[in-house]
Structure 1
Amino acid sequence: MYKKELYVFHEGKPKHAIVRNYRKDDFEGLIQIQQESFPPPFPSELWWNEEQLTNHITRFPEGALCVEVDGELVGSMTGLLVDFDPAHPSHTWSIMTDDGYIRNHQANGNTLYVVDICVKPAYRKADIGKLLMYSMYDVVTYLGIDRLLGGGRMPGYHKLADQLTPQQYVQAIVAGEVKDPVISFLLRCGRMPIALVENYLEDEESHHYGVLMEWKNPFKSF
């Protein structure tokens, strides 16, 4: 199982943090993170539920990570293993993650697929999201699989959709001409865009597109 201790800087001060696998007694805190991150009118039925969380810790506990800061649960990240063929990248989040229930987890899969990453708003300037992402890279390396993969929303696109195609929007982000809250964050975490996927998820801000972005295991030959 995974455990890492370090300091993060929150409001200018170092705070003791632990990254570890989450467990059943964390469920209430994990749901609270979702509630704070996605308050009403976001539909509460889309927050994690206990069945989903139970599946995460029983089917693939290695891919169920959380961060505590001074004993407070402030962020989580969840993944599952899938077999991914880079020659056929198109898919939906719903199908790839089983709507977050991960009953399709493949123990011998070649790719760790990101189901979700979520950080309490009060801690988003403390680089908790990046800490979770790099911790999941540790899991990829430990398991000896090919990559971490996931689809990133592009929530800034709706503001420029009348000027740029989705492909041009992604190109502008990579060129440093446009900043997107999600895609720019993933680039800072070392993720590489490999495909633009239409109808990736229901997301009006992104015009329902997702940018498929990977991190390759540097110890694997490609």
Structure 2
Amino acid sequence: MGYRSEFYVMHDEKPVPVIIRNYRESDFNDLIEIQSECFPPPFPEELWWNEEQLTNHVTLFPEGAICVEIDGILAGSMTGLCVHFDPAHPSHTWEEITDNGFIGNHDPKGNTLYIVDISVRPSYRKLGLGKLMMQAMYHTVIQLGFERLLGGGRMPGYHKVAGKMSPNEYISGVLSGELVDPVITFLLKTGRTPVAIAENYLDDEESCNYGVLMEWKNPFK
């Protein structure tokens, strides 16, 4: 079943039309362009989405491939796959659980919608589009009967305090309001809750290679 939602957001006190929908092959060039804007050099170009990955997204799990248009321009995307997650054994890496972004390990019988990526063009980041796409994924969690939405969040502010604070202490500081992290604080605002710290989650100097697994539980489960 396809996803499509139409509404307005306010931009400079003016209502602007927004559409959240599943992305498709005709969107691939725009999606790669969005990646290039979100992850400019020195981020390696070969780590942006490529057509093979995007083809897998729309073929293996089209329900987990969504994008947002604002006033007719593709402004962001969000991608997920279905996995089986055991909260008693949460540890994993991004590459393992997403098949390095190819989602070849998508499991239609899994219990969890796992977020692979969320990207919003920098020029559109103050309009709340990331939160709106996250809410769309929550609708998909309910529609398809998953137990939760889960994903690993970078903690890019951690490297500034890593010499005096453990990852768990850092997240506790964010939760208490003493610290603000660009990614973790955003995810909290979208309704996500920290579950566990994942060591060596991804190659990310700012996060000291840690990730924070954060979930949203299906309230009807």
Q: Same fold (TM over 0.5)?
A: yes
Q: How far apart are 1:9 and its partner, in Å?
A: 2.1
**For residues 170-211 of structure 1, what are the alpha-carbon distances to aligned partners after superposition, in whole Å with 9 as ceiling and x for unaligned?**
000001100000000000011010101110000110000000
RMSD between superposed Cα atoms in Å: 0.7
**2:138 aligned residue:** 137
Map Cα deviations across residues 68-97 of structure 1 (whole Å, 9 max, x no partner).
Answer: 001100000000000000000000000000
Matched with 1:150 is: 151
CA distance in 2 between partners of 1:201 and 1:11 (Å): 37
Residue aligning to 2:114: 113
How far apart in 2 are the matches of 1:61 and 1:100?
14
Aligned pairs for 1:61-140 within 5 A: 61-140=62-141
Q: Which amino acid aligns with 1:212?
A: L
Shift of 1:132: 0.6
1:13 Cα deviation (Å)?
2.3
**Unaligned 5+ runs, structure 2:** none
Q: How many residues align?
A: 220
Residue in 2 that maps onto 1:29: 30
- Whether the aligned pair in 2 keeps the contact of 1:10 and 1:123 (CA below 8 Å) is no
Task: Output the TM-score relative to the length of structure 1.
Answer: 0.98
Identity %: 65
Q: Deviations over 1:138-168 (max 9, x none)?
A: 0000001100000000000011112211110
Q: How far apart are residue 66 of structure 1 and its match?
A: 0.1
What one-letter code is carried by the residue in structure 2 that aligns with 1:147?
A: R
C-alpha deviation, 1:14, in angstroms: 1.8
Does the CA contact (< 8 Å) of 1:20 and 1:65 recur in 2?
A: yes
Contact 1:157 1:206 in 2 (8 A): yes
Could you list the runs of 5+ residues in structure 1 that have no partner in the other structure?
A: none
Distance 1:47 1:120 in 2: 14
Could you tell me how far apart the structure 2 residues matched to 1:198 and 1:44 are?
25
Separation in structure 1 between the aligned mates of residue 143 and residue 106 of structure 2, nearest angstrom? 18
